Amino acid sequence: MNTITCLIFLIMKDRFDSVISKYSSKILSCEDIFVIDYKNINGGNVDCLCENPAFECVKINNPNGIESYFILFEDNCLEKAIGDYSKQCECIAFPTEKHVKSWFLCIETKYSYSHENAFREENNYPYIMIEKIKDTVAYFRERGVIDEKKRVTGIVSFPTLIGDFSESFKPKDESFEDILINYNIIIRPTNKLKIISSKRLDFS
């Protein structure tokens, strides 16, 4: 990073540091990045790695080596008041080289081991997952960390499901278009994505 880019990134990092506490972070630029939540696997925390772990995870292809900052939340990380916590997704990420049009990513996972269970109406997983992303973004918008005009991309992932599940993933009482219009968040049901540049993510 050049001096100006580094300064902008450090300012952004400090903004997050000022409103969250229990988290870890990593700066990665490897060709493939793997995001995994170990909580339901071995009781561990969320992690992101350059090596493919032994368990299913969100896979991020990064062929151009774009350096990105990952903030990995621990439980009850977003405190609204003493003893009162916002719902939260697993992690957020953004490129260290900041632009007005640079991407901002939220990742939420659910480890369900069958398509039937993942989309069983009484489990309500799609609603729960989307609400976690919406609440995470709202938490940072309300504190001036993420600008209201900043468009956010939210990944809702079932890492243990084989095949495309996007047709089955439906928001409750609203559409993906409603979420984009009302919250400036693009929701993508997928287990993988590609970082093209600091301004572009690809889901094809």
**149 or 10, greater pLDDT:** 149
- Specify the pLDDT at position 5: 64
Q: pLDDT tens, 164-198?
A: 999 999 999 999 999 999 999 999 999 999 999 99
Q: pLDDT tens, 44-86?
A: 999 999 999 989 999 999 999 999 999 999 999 999 988 899 9
Q: What distance in Å separates the CA atoms of residue 188 and residue 185, rounded to the nearest whole number? A: 10
Within 10 angstroms of residue 177's Cβ, the number of other Cβ atoms is 9
* Residue (of 18, 16, 2, 188) closest to 98 by Cα position: 2
- Give the residue carrying structure tokens 């368990």: 55
Phi-psi region of 163 (alpha: psi -120 to 50; beta: other; left: phi over 0): left
